[in-house]
């Protein structure tokens, strides 16, 4: 049963005066029956106050208790898996395989943070014994607002990486549910809230607030007791939240991952010799109906002899694919509109529309691409633009013209290595992750993953929103000078009761002091 | 010889049309003879372009070459020591001992970064071999603007921690010289520029621009090719730069350390038994004529029996001290004005003015302090306010009322430990560093130092502006996926040619892969 209510610090509140909204099944284009209540200003304020009141306690919970909490969330999610994935499919039109895959990914992400807490060294304990006794470790920053993402109703939403990394850090979380999948979000929130009850944690550490209007999110981000924001979505949405947060009396960090065109560079010899390229890239372009932040939006090929019709090859490889609709008609409309503009504006030299689905592949000469910066705008959906370069120099110019990106991919043979080096040197200051094989879609949840890049790909390139290092978004250092051992947090005590790897006078040591 | 010219990417430029400004000797209140040229918009733009052009090269310089560069800066500073410290004393009125002490501190800070680069692990190399081969390390963010600080003409200025940490990170630096000590700044810039020439580094990695007007700093921070800002100074100055940087088309990080009242909490039994407290705190209050960011501006005492006249004790301990004037008459005027306001407004219960110098000590009951938030505003200078609490609960209320601070100090006996614990729990979310002995002035330059705190103490509590960890302000992670070994940066190569401690599949290992 989906109640449509808001969860305010442990209590599902029924408000008969609330504004109502519904979600829509993109397959049928029909509204789903459940009615969702938009949360009120009062509900927002009470949720934030409860989060703030619970902060001091939650910040001091042991790693052991946080592990128990995360594991209980996993258990509660598993118990509700069939309901969650059923609602997920209704609200997103994403197929069953994807639903189960994303569900599993969500559990796996939680597991990564369980293991991070078990190991514990992420807390960055360091001790300096010469001069004043100085010991430093990380401490949570306070209550966090997390916005559900439209394109990942599970893995980047209510119990996604933002929420779980904040919980692992010791920060209370307020989720603003994405209105396109409010039901999925509620089902997940139920699981989280049950875990809080079972673990006897303060109810204030989690609230789940809904609404179609931007005002709910704005109120949350503007609230003086909120200390950080996590967001994955469009540039306009992320930038609006960022600006709001900077205009507060106390500015706060906003980690907005706002997308990217993830340029692929195919060097001359690679283009000539690798006959599987088009097929691999075509699959990446249409994966999830193109709704991945790491979707390859631009494929830059070096083809001085004009020998390869790469755009046609990619287009041919897509032909025959049947794609589900995009997760919401608004997103579909925006995609259709952008393609129409490119087509009607004759901005490109050719535009191949697939017959079997809504995917499309464009082709443009690099000389033209370099004079029309709007061609580097993201087209969110199953579209890619092949940019054809006549020389390595032209390719380097295209690389130099790029804005900040989540990823870039350099595909070359050994014989292309001189150019690869030059490209790498130029692109390193523009991206978060550089691939040399494969495709950028599929973001491994591991410690060295970097998901985030220089602006406008994200608002803070120094942090990742995927992988265990994403926990550092919610932590800041606190130093203790000449503190009695008994007052120190466990992570800094002489006897090292947590068995952490600590930096002691510059050396990593896991024994007691 | 002080030329008064601006250094634009290696060239000292004489501009006969420049607006002119002079520095002033605070001891004599007379203008010093040297005429300084305000830099022009054209000079700003050419400096930034040169910095940006040099970035790709400088970002890829080896640790070895950066070490050589930093050591050469040390050498050049040493060669010019007598001229630098002579000008320093003329421009700041700070005595010879302080001049030489701060000079040595500046050299020592550089040495810390030399050793950091020698060891190398700060680059945070991590490798994940399961699944896609993913390797991550830190990479410099780009050209940085550093603002000289009025209160530390050497250690927090031209070759201070901001500049040196940025150089160590591989970032070009543009220094906006502080107009109060433009001559000191020029002499130091000469040394840095000579080091660049000797090390055959690109001249664009350093420019030194002067001006009394805010416009030079604004132009620098607003320039689209600048990627970060370091500042130490007033709240109004730091906040203005922060806002400017957030309004750019591409917002950039601003690390502004904006000061703090560094509250000292003296618990009941400590107050009764430690007869040396007043003397120690008095010395901290007047150190450097009170011009330290970590100056103890508030001393909160728990004195239920009303037995200790602590404000009088501190005031008595100050009496007899002779202090040099503050570093500039504008700062002195502001200090005098704030004291006058407190005095005339009868905001405090008593105000003791020292006869021998401009220091002052106020006394106020906690109940009154809690109803007048302006009493928690920083009074930059040799002033402290004793806040008298009737109970531990009242002291906890005072702690709860505090805004973000650089430091706080909890002074208690073993018998005070219950209260210490409660205070600690409350204060941990409000400060960067917590002391349990001594005084907050004197910031050790070590790795676990945290100099920076929650807003409004600084604009980004996640970073420190003192100690080797301050380098992380200028670095961001870049991940390499399936990168051929020969294209990887040395820090990530299989053979570990730099001999770094690296995180490999979650374990710290310093051998080859």
- DSSP type of residue A485: G
Per-position DSSP letters for A114-157, written without gaps between them: HHHHHH-GGG--EEE-SSS-EEEEEEE---EEEEPPSS-TTTTS
Which residues of B fall within a CB distance of 8 Å from A420? 487
The residues in A 164-193 lying below 8 A from B, measured between CB atoms, are none
Q: Do A436 and B487 touch (CB under 8 A)?
A: yes
pLDDT for position A414? 94
Per-position DSSP letters for B290-325, written without gaps between them: G--TT---EEEEE-TT----HHHHHHHHHTT---PP
pLDDT at B346 over 90: no
The closest alpha carbon to B193, from B4, B7, B6, belongs to B7
User: How many whole angstroms separate alpha carbon A400 and alpha carbon A388?
Assistant: 15
- Which one of the listed residues B13, B257, B378, B394 is annotated catalytic? B257
Average pLDDT on B152-174 reads 97
Question: Which region, left, alpha or beta, applies to residue A505 given φ > 0 means left and ψ of -120 to 50 means alpha?
Answer: left
* Nearest-by-CA chain A residue for B456: A250
pLDDT for position B345? 87
Q: Do A484 and B134 touch (CB under 8 A)?
A: no
Nearest to A119 among B242, B444, B506 (CB): B506
Task: Write the CA distances from B92 to A36, B4, B101, B239, integer angstroms.
Answer: 65, 17, 14, 25
pLDDT category of residue A259 using cuts at 50, 70 and 90: confident
Cα distance between the two ends of chain B: 54
Q: Could you tell me if A417 lies within 8 Å of chain B, comparing CB atoms?
A: yes
pLDDT, tens digit (0-9, with 9 covering 90-100), for A195-227: 999 999 999 999 999 999 999 999 999 999 999
pLDDT for position A485? 97
Q: Do B134 and A449 touch (CB under 8 A)?
A: yes
**Interface test mutation site (partner B, options A250, A478, A489, A513, max chain B beta carbons within 10 A):** A478
Q: Would you state the structure tokens that stand for residue B458, as one six-digit string?
A: 């600084």
Domains of chain A: 6-258+463-472 (3.40.605.10), 264-435 (3.40.309.10)
Calculate what percentage of chain B has a pLDDT beyond 90. 98
| CB atoms closer than 10 angstroms to residue A306 | 8
pLDDT at B442 over 90: no
pLDDT for position B17? 96
The residues in B 359-378 lying below 8 A from A, measured between CB atoms, are none
Q: Do A251 and B246 touch (CB under 8 A)?
A: yes
Torsion of CA A432, A434, A438, A442, to 10 degrees: -10
Nearest to A479 among B128, B449, B456 (CB): B449
pLDDT at A432 over 90: yes
* Nearest-by-CA chain A residue for B137: A448
| CB atoms closer than 10 angstroms to residue B481 | 25
Give the count of alpha carbons within 13 A of B461, CB side only.
35
Q: Do A417 and B459 touch (CB under 8 A)?
A: no
Nearest to A135 among B141, B242, B448 (CB): B448
pLDDT for position B168? 98
Q: Do A243 and B243 touch (CB under 8 A)?
A: no
Q: Could you tell me if B128 lies within 8 Å of chain A, comparing CB atoms?
A: yes
Give B283: exposed, middle or buried? Use CB within 10 Å, 0-12, 13-18, 19+: middle
Average pLDDT, chain B: 96
Which residues of B fall within a CB distance of 8 Å from A142? 429
User: How many whole angstroms separate alpha carbon A459 and alpha carbon B476?
Assistant: 12
CA-only gyration radius of chain B, Å: 24
Give B17: exposed, middle or buried? Use CB within 10 Å, 0-12, 13-18, 19+: exposed
Evaluate whether B461 touches B432 at the Cβ level (below 8 Å). yes
Q: Do A450 and B420 touch (CB under 8 A)?
A: no
The residues in B 326-345 lying below 8 A from A, measured between CB atoms, are none
pLDDT at A346 over 90: no
What residues contact A196, with CB distance under 8 A and at least 6 apart?
Answer: A10, A69, A202, A203, A205, A206
**φ and ψ of B484, to 5 deg:** -55, 140
ipTM value for the complex: 0.96
User: How many whole angstroms separate alpha carbon A298 and alpha carbon A362?
Assistant: 9
Average pLDDT on A137-150 reads 97
Q: Do B417 and A486 touch (CB under 8 A)?
A: yes
Count H helices and E strands in chain B, helices first. 15, 23
Which residues of A fall within a CB distance of 8 Å from B425? 56, 60
3-state secondary structure at position B201: coil
Q: Could you tell me if B127 lies within 8 Å of chain A, comparing CB atoms?
A: yes
Evaluate whether A88 touches A94 at the Cβ level (below 8 Å). yes
Nearest to A446 among B131, B434, B487 (CB): B131
| CB atoms closer than 10 angstroms to residue B63 | 21
Q: Could you tell me if B503 lies within 8 Å of chain A, comparing CB atoms?
A: yes
User: How many whole angstroms separate alpha carbon B220 and alpha carbon B241?
Assistant: 10
Average pLDDT, chain A: 96
pLDDT at B476 over 90: yes
Whole-model pTM above 0.95? yes
* Nearest-by-CA chain A residue for B128: A448
Residues of A annotated as catalytic (active site), given as ranges: 257, 293
Which residues of A fall within a CB distance of 8 Å from B256? none
* Chain A, chain B: beta-carbon pairs less than 8 Å apart: 190
pLDDT, tens digit (0-9, with 9 covering 90-100), for A153-163: 999 999 999 99
Give A229: exposed, middle or buried? Use CB within 10 Å, 0-12, 13-18, 19+: buried
User: How many whole angstroms separate alpha carbon A256 and alpha carbon A462?
Assistant: 12
User: How many whole angstroms separate alpha carbon A180 and alpha carbon A185?
Assistant: 10
pLDDT for position A503? 96
Count H helices and E strands in chain A, helices first. 15, 23
Average pLDDT on A343-358 reads 93
Torsion of CA B333, B339, B344, B345, to 10 degrees: 120
Q: Would you state the structure tokens that stand for residue A79, as one six-digit string?
A: 């118990």
Average pLDDT on A420-425 reads 96
Distance from CA of B106 to the nearest CA of A (A): 18
Q: Do A131 and B444 touch (CB under 8 A)?
A: yes
pLDDT for position B131? 86
**φ and ψ of A457, to 5 deg:** -65, -40
Distance from CA of B454 to the nearest CA of A (A): 9
pLDDT for position A442? 87
Say how far residue A338 (Cα) sits from the centre of its chain.
23
Evaluate whether A238 touches A214 at the Cβ level (below 8 Å). no
Question: Which region, left, alpha or beta, applies to residue B128 given φ > 0 means left and ψ of -120 to 50 means alpha?
Answer: beta
pLDDT, tens digit (0-9, with 9 covering 90-100), for B3-19: 999 999 999 999 999 99
Q: Would you state the structure tokens that stand for residue B334, as one six-digit string?
A: 């502001």
CA angle B7, B465, B21 (to 5 degrees): 35
pLDDT for position A345? 87
pLDDT at B326 over 90: yes
Given strand A507-509, what is the order of strands in its sheet?
A: A507-509, A502-504, A126-128, A134-140, A475-481, B431-435, B405-411, B264-266, B298-302, B383-389, B360-365, B350-353
Which residues of A fall within a CB distance of 8 Å from B455? 250-251
| A203-214 CB burial, b ≥16 within 10 A, e <16 | bbbbbbbbbbee
Question: Which region, left, alpha or beta, applies to residue A496 given φ > 0 means left and ψ of -120 to 50 means alpha?
Answer: left
Distance from CA of A435 to the nearest CA of B (A): 5
Q: Would you state the structure tokens that stand for residue A449, as one six-digit string?
A: 């993953």
Which residues of B fall within a CB distance of 8 Å from A437? 132, 481-482
pLDDT, tens digit (0-9, with 9 covering 90-100), for B377-436: 999 999 999 999 999 999 999 999 999 999 999 999 999 999 999 999 999 999 999 999
User: How many whole angstroms separate alpha carbon A164 and alpha carbon A31?
Assistant: 31
> Of all residues in chain B, what percent are helix, strand and coil, respectively (each to 5)?
45, 20, 40
The closest alpha carbon to B389, from B409, B373, B369, B403, belongs to B369
Give the count of alpha carbons within 13 A of A227, CB side only.
26
Give A432: exposed, middle or buried? Use CB within 10 Å, 0-12, 13-18, 19+: buried
Which residues of A fall within a CB distance of 8 Å from B131? 444, 446
pLDDT at A237 over 90: yes
Residues paired with A264 in a beta bridge: A299, A409
Nearest to B425 among A56, A454, A483 (CB): A56
User: How many whole angstroms separate alpha carbon A155 and alpha carbon A149?
Assistant: 9
Q: Do A128 and B469 touch (CB under 8 A)?
A: no
pLDDT for position B117? 98
Distance from CA of A101 to the nearest CA of B (A): 17
Evaluate whether B228 touches B473 at the Cβ level (below 8 Å). yes
* Nearest-by-CA chain A residue for B52: A429
User: How many whole angstroms separate alpha carbon B331 and alpha carbon B351?
Assistant: 21
Helices (H), B1-153: 41-59, 63-79, 81-92, 96-119
Cis peptide before A100 (omega within 30 of 0): no
Known catalytic residue at B293: yes
pLDDT, tens digit (0-9, with 9 covering 90-100), for B237-280: 999 999 999 999 999 999 999 989 999 999 999 999 999 999 99
């Amino acid at each position: 049963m989906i109640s449509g209510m808001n969860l305010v610090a442990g209590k599902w509140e029924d408000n008969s005066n609330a504004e109502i909204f519904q979600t829509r099944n993109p397959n049928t284009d029909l509204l789903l029956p459940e009615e969702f209540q938009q949360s009120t200003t009062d509900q927002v304020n009470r949720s934030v106050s409860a989060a703030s009141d619970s902060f001091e306690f939650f910040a001091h919970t042991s790693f052991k208790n946080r592990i128990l909490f995360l594991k209980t969330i996993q258990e509660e999610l598993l118990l509700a898996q069939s309901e969650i994935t059923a609602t997920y499919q209704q609200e997103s039109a994403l197929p069953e395989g994807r639903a189960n895959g994303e569900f599993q990914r969500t559990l796996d992400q939680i597991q990564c943070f369980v293991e991070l807490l078990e190991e514990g060294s992420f807390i960055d304990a360091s001790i300096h014994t010469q001069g004043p006794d100085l010991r430093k470790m990380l401490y949570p920053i306070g209550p966090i607002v997390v916005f559900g993402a439209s394109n990942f109703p599970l893995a980047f939403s209510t119990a996604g990486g933002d929420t779980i990394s904040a919980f692992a850090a010791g920060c209370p979380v307020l989720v603003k549910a994405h209105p396109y999948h409010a039901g999925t979000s509620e089902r997940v929130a139920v699981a989280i809230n049950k875990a809080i009850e079972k673990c006897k944690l303060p109810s204030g550490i989690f609230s789940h607030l809904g609404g179609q209007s931007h005002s709910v999110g704005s109120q949350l981000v503007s609230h003086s007791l909120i200390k950080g924001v996590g967001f994955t979505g469009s540039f306009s949405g992320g930038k609006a939240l960022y600006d709001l947060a900077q205009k507060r009396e106390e500015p706060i960090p906003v980690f907005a991952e706002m997308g990217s065109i993830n340029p692929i560079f195919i060097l001359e010899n690679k283009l000539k010799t690798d006959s599987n390229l088009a097929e691999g890239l075509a699959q990446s372009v249409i994966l999830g109906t193109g709704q991945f932040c790491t979707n390859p939006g631009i494929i830059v090929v070096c083809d001085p002899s004009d020998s390869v019709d790469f755009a046609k090859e990619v287009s041919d490889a897509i032909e025959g694919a049947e794609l589900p609709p995009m997760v919401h008609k608004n997103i579909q409309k925006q995609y259709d509109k952008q393609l129409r503009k490119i087509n009607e504006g004759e901005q490109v030299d050719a535009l191949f529309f697939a017959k079997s689905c809504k995917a499309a592949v464009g082709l443009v000469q690099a000389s033209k691409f370099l004079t029309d910066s709007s061609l580097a705008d993201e087209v969110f959906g199953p579209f890619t633009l092949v940019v054809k370069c006549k020389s390595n120099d032209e390719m380097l110019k295209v690389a130099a013209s790029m804005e900040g990106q989540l990823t870039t991919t350099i595909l070359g043979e050994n014989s292309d290595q001189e150019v690869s080096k030059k490209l790498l040197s130029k692109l390193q200051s523009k991206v978060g992750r550089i691939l040399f094989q494969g495709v950028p879609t599929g973001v491994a949840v591991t410690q060295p993953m970097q998901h985030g890049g220089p602006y406008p790909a994200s608002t803070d390139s120094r942090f990742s929103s995927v992988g265990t290092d994403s926990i550092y978004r919610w932590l800041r250092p606190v130093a203790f000078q000449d503190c009695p051992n008994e007052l120190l947090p466990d992570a800094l005590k002489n006897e090292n009761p947590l068995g952490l790897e600590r930096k002691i006078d510059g050396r990593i040591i896991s024994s007691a002091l």
